[in-house]
Amino acid sequence: MGIAEQAKGAIKEKVGDLTDQEDLQAEGEAQKEKGEAETAETVAKAKAQKAEKEADALDQQASDL
């Protein structure tokens, strides 16, 4: 969802630039930043899940000893 928000925001920002609509430009910039934050959140969650799986695998190996 973050990438789509970034794309929509970039489009709004460019349209705002081309039409001299500062409010549309600002809305696009904000939407783009929201998308960047959503993308960063998704990446962080994926990294956390990977670390959790690795920790679980290590726990299983330790209990097998």
Q: What is the pLDDT of residue 53?
A: 96
- From first to last of the 65 residues of the chain, give the pLDDT tens digit: 799 999 999 999 999 999 999 999 999 999 999 999 999 999 999 999 999 999 999 999 888 87
Q: What is the pLDDT of residue 1?
A: 76
Q: What is the pLDDT of residue 63?
A: 86
Chain-centroid distance, C-alpha 47: 13
Q: What is the pLDDT of residue 17?
A: 96
Q: 30 with 12: CB under 8 angstroms?
A: no
